[in-house]
Amino acid sequence: MLNFPPLICWKKQYNIPGPFDAIFCRNVMIYFDKTTQQDILRRFVPLLKPDGLLFAGHSENFSNLVREFSLRGQTVYALSKDKA
């Protein structure tokens, strides 16, 4: 079943059920500074299943921002196995 709950990513706590197979956060993070991006990405970690995927926009790069995610494709990041 597909579920697309809305999320206000800059809030400190997310009141949505998880974990999810994927999070789609495309062309959103470019509007935040690096510190806020790191905070948001770390709050995504418990929301993803092991090997869960984060889909970002083409202008967004988180490779050197947080260790919890590893680049899987041009705009796809996977939750690192040791973080799941």
Nearest to residue 23, comparing CAs of 35, 41, 39, 37? 41
Residue 25 has pLDDT above 80, yes or no: yes
pLDDT at 48: 92
Residue 17 has pLDDT above 60, yes or no: yes
Stated pTM of the model: 0.82
CB distance 28 to 53 below 8 Å? no
